[in-house]
Structures are given as C-alpha cells and as structure tokens.
Amino acid sequence: MDKLSVYFNYNTSLQQRDVIKALLGVSEVYRFESDLGLPTLVGRKKYHTFSFIKDRVWKKLQGWKGKMLSRAGKEILIKAVAQSIPTYTMSVFQLPVKLCEELQALCARFWWGQVGNERKIHWLSWEKLTRPKVDGGMGFKDLRQFNLAMLAKKGWRLVQDQESLLSRCFKARYFPRSSFLESTDSPNCSFTWKSILAAKPLIQRGSCWRVGNGTSIRALRDAWIPNYPTNKVLHPAHNVEEDCMVADLIDPDTR
C-alpha cells in the first residue's frame, strides 16, 4: 500500500477527497508525472509529452560508431533496441506523426553511417527499407503503421474479451449502449480512448463475423460473408428488409 497514491481532478471537493482517501487508505499526490514509464496526463503539447522517447533512442544510437558495427550488427541494433523502445508507449497512445518521422530519421542516419553533423548519402528511401526482405527491403518497422497495429490490438481486445476490467471500464464510460465497432468519439474523452479509436478503421477493414445462429448479424450492413471482396452483400434481393438479420435467412430444418 505504500506504493499506492491517488490523484484527484480539480473539481473534486475537499470533503470527497477526504472520504476517498480514508476508504482507500492511500496518500494524495498533487502532480503525476508518469506511471509505469508512461505519462499520466497528456495535454495539447503531445510532441513535448512524448519527446522522452526520442531522447532515449538517440542515446542508444549515438553511443555506437558506424565503423564499429557490420551491416548485420546495425540491423540488429535498430530492430531489437531502437525500434523496440517506443513499443510499450505505442500500445497505449498514438504518437504524433512528427515524432514518428524523427525516430525513423534517427534510425535511417544510423543505418547509412551518419555521425553527428556528417552527411551521408541515403541510397534508398526509408519507405523501401521498411519492406519485407523478400520484397527487397530490410524489414524495418514503419513506426506510424506499427503504432496503429498496436492500438488495433487493444481495440480487438475490447471486442473479444468483453468481461475484462479494461473492456468493462471503457464500455461503461464510452459506449454503454453499443459495441466497440459502433462507438464514436465523445467530448472530454481521454487521449487513450482517442488513440484506440484511431485504429478502429483498421479493425473494421480486417474483421468479419463468424456466423453462428445469426441473431446478432445484420444481413445487409455487417461483414459476414467469407472469401468475398467486401465480406458484405453487394446485390441484396428485393424482398429482403433493411433490418433483416442473418438468422432470418437460415432455415433451421436444412441440414
């Protein structure tokens, strides 16, 4: 319990604070910088909030001279160290585009052997280096796309594991009367929720219903047809109603 503390919003009354602290038996803090290595309060200056990631990556790379490592050594250092540092943060927050581009620029300069203010020729663009090796690239991460993939993983967890504490908290706060895939942005929502919503289109494009009894699947609007370009009905029959469910199309007597 000595490691626990509570932080109150400015509009919490002193009486409410005293009651909560007495019930929980913890102390109050007036300024929360970070928790588990992540910023607890993200304001409007998001680039400044997450700039610590760039500093950590730069410190890892600037300690190595380009001549001391082979190409294979540089590849391992970039993939296993430099590009793995922001992974934990990217699984919770959507990093600013400017920051992602600067992180990739650090890795690109290190890959081509640029040290300090030296200027080295970049024989290939970073976009080509992020391609898989079978396609002629080096398999480096596109940090912007990787960021969305990590957030989509969190969103998929909200869809699959609806009894988890994470799912129950987000559902009660942001989509109490709908599903995650039908949820929308809301006023005064947290930056974490905004970040997960940014990856929701990625989930929608790649998800498809698995048909059971069909009672939850809308026949004309949901994606439920496998091995089909859009997974949706393209040419509905004239006698099918707009709110028709897949269950209405199933004949229970057919084996």
pLDDT digits (tens, 9 = 90+) for 30-70: 766 666 677 777 778 888 889 889 999 988 888 776 567 88
In this predicted structure, what is the pLDDT of residue 115? 64
Question: Contact 25/2 with Cβ under 8 angstroms?
Answer: no
Question: Contact 223/207 with Cβ under 8 angstroms?
Answer: yes
For residues 52 and 112, state if they share a domain.
Answer: yes
Residue type present at position 200: K
Q: Which residues, 6+ apart, have CB-to-CB distance to 127 below 8 Å? A: 142
Q: Collect the ranges in the chain with pLDDT lower than 70.
A: 31-36, 65-67, 115-118, 255
For residues 171 and 245, state if they share a domain.
Answer: no
The values of phi and psi at residue 245, to 5°, are -100, 155
In this predicted structure, what is the pLDDT of residue 98? 94
Instruction: Assess if residue 43 is contained within a domain.
Output: no
In this predicted structure, what is the pLDDT of residue 200? 92
Distance CA 99, CA 103 (A): 6
Residue 205: its H or E element: helix 200-206
Domain hosting residue 227, numbered range: 208-255
* Residue 191, SS3 per DSSP: helix
For residues 54 and 137, state if they share a domain.
Answer: yes
Tally the domains of the chain: 4
Instruction: Assess if residue 163 is contained within a domain.
Output: yes
In this predicted structure, what is the pLDDT of residue 67? 62
Instruction: Assess if residue 134 is contained within a domain.
Output: yes
For residues 61 and 137, state if they share a domain.
Answer: yes
Residue type present at position 249: L
Q: Which two tokens stand for residue 73?
A: 């050594």
Nearest one of 101, 111, 117, 7 to 54, comparing CA atoms: 101
For residues 53 and 132, state if they share a domain.
Answer: yes
Instruction: Assess if residue 36 is contained within a domain.
Output: no
In this predicted structure, what is the pLDDT of residue 233? 82
First to last CA, the chain: 60
The values of phi and psi at residue 239, to 5°, are -90, 10
- pTM (2 decimals)? 0.77
For residues 123 and 78, state if they share a domain.
Answer: yes
Residue positions counted in the chain? 255
Nearest one of 165, 158, 168 to 196, comparing CA atoms: 158
Burial class for 21, CB neighbours closer than 10 Å (0-12, 13-18, 19+): middle
Q: Which two tokens stand for residue 68?
A: 């001391």
Distance CA 202, CA 11 (A): 37
Question: Contact 90/150 with Cβ under 8 angstroms?
Answer: yes
Query: Between the CA of residue 176 and those of 70, 179, 232, what are the distances in Å?
Result: 54, 8, 26
